[in-house]
């Protein structure tokens, strides 16, 4: 079978397409023929060595496909079933081995490409707005990078809970995407008066929660925007690493709470299936919609990584066999 292999850390060119043996599922595993795999920043961090993995390594933590073989202890799925999965490495390949507990069903009314495009980002946004910090009606929410995949979904899901949302982005095109997602107010990330704008928008109070996947460039801004006893959910560093945090600063700024969630810690099999079901149902109902930017053949994984890192992608990037 054809796979993308990583033999050394580095730039996108270290992603190499090659023939690898067909894997065999263990008792609690399933063999799935991949139909679409999502490209995520987690893949970039692993490829670059920022998040080291054991080499050689097949990247990819999100995909959708059809079950072709099941292990002897598997009970919930059978050959021919449509499934999707996340947080299991090896999706950049024609076939993948997936533990049964990481699989979620895909309705015949939902395309495999849409499932692969929405699962990781959709489940992330769902968990951040329901489990990490449950959004309540009437709250004020600040979403950084609100024109990106996760950002748009955070906006949509917060609005669906009845919250007011301010979204930031680093250019006018992404601001328009944030507005289309439902942000009531938008502002450029680099605006020098953003903290002032937040205070004016909230009548001087500040926002209840900030969702910050940007990192270093927005960190101080996030702390400045939040209200007394408010919360900052810091879940990524797409714009650069976070500074060292002096915990006493959180008290000085108003008894703030900072949460650094890791998605894997929120997804036992039952919770994963429930979250994925909520996300897929929302897509089929038209409540939220993934935006696919480009689709690449498996052999062009390095081109997909270059586009993601360029900041030019206007939605999800997918690989297909």
Residue 57: pLDDT over 90? yes
pLDDT at residue 197, as a whole number: 85
Maximal CA-CA distance, the chain:
62
Helices 269-284 and 112-127 cross at an angle (nearest 10°) of 120
Mean pLDDT computed over every residue of the chain = 94
The residues facing 36 across adjacent strands are: 64
Contact predicate 290/149, CB 8 Å: yes
pLDDT at residue 266, as a whole number: 92
Task: Count other C-beta atoms under 10 Å from residue 312's C-beta.
Answer: 11
pLDDT at residue 240, as a whole number: 80
Helices 301-310 and 41-48 cross at an angle (nearest 10°) of 110
Residue 167: φ, ψ to 5° = -115, 140
Helices (H) and strands (E) in the chain, counts: 9, 15
pLDDT at residue 313, as a whole number: 81
- First-to-last CA distance in the chain? 10
Between the CA of residue 236 and those of 51, 149, 182, 285, what are the distances in Å? 12, 13, 22, 29
Distance, CA of 206 to CA of 204 (rounded, Å): 6
More confident residue, 314 or 62: 62
What's the average model confidence in pLDDT over 55-79? 97
Q: What are 223-277's pLDDT values in tens digits?
A: 999 999 999 999 988 778 888 888 898 999 999 999 999 999 999 999 999 999 9
Based on the number of CB atoms within 10 Å of its own CB, is 137 exposed (0-12), middle (13-18) or buried (19 or more)? exposed
Give percent of the chain above pLDDT 90. 80
Contact predicate 104/272, CB 8 Å: yes
Give 3-state DSSP helix, strand, coil % of the chain, rounded to 5.
Answer: 35, 30, 35
Residue 192: pLDDT over 70? no
pLDDT at residue 243, as a whole number: 84
Q: Could you give all domains of the chain from N- to C-terminal order, each with its CATH number?
A: 2-120+267-320 (3.90.180.10), 137-259 (3.40.50.720)
Q: What are 299-320's pLDDT values in tens digits?
A: 999 999 999 998 788 789 999 9
């Amino acid at each position: 079978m054809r796979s993308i292999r990583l033999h050394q850390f580095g730039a996108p060119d270290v992603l190499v397409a090659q023939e690898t043996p067909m894997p065999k599922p263990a008792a609690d595993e399933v063999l799935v023929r991949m139909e679409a795999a999502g490209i995520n920043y987690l893949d970039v961090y692993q490829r670059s060595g920022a998040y080291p993995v054991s080499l050689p390594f097949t990247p990819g933590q999100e995909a959708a496909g059809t079950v072709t073989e099941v292990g002897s202890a598997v009970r919930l799925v059978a050959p021919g079933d449509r499934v999707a999965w996340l947080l299991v490495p090896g999706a950049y390949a024609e076939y993948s081995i997936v533990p049964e507990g990481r699989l979620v069903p895909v309705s015949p009314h939902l395309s495999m490409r849409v499932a692969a495009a929405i699962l990781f980002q959709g489940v992330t946004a769902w968990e951040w707005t329901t489990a990490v910090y449950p959004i309540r009606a009437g709250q004020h929410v600040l979403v950084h990078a609100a024109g990106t995949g996760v950002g748009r979904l955070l906006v949509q899901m917060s609005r669906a809970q009845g919250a007011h949302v301010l979204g930031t982005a680093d250019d006018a095109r992404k601001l328009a995407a944030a507005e289309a997602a439902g942000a009531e107010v938008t502002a450029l990330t680099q605006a020098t008066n953003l903290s002032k704008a937040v205070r004016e928008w909230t009548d001087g109070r500040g926002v209840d929660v900030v969702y910050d996947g940007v990192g270093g460039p927005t960190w101080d801004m996030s702390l400045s925007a939040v209200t007394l006893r408010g919360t900052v959910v810091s879940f990524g560093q797409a714009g650069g690493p976070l500074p060292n945090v002096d915990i006493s600063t959180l008290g000085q700024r108003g008894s703030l709470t900072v949460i650094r969630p890791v998605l894997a810690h929120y997804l036992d099999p039952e919770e994963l299936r429930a979250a994925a079901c909520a996300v897929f149902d929302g897509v089929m109902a038209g409540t939220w919609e993934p935006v696919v930017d480009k689709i690449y053949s498996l052999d062009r994984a390095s081109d997909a990584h270059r586009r993601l890192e360029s900041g030019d992608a206007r939605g999800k990037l997918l690989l297909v066999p």
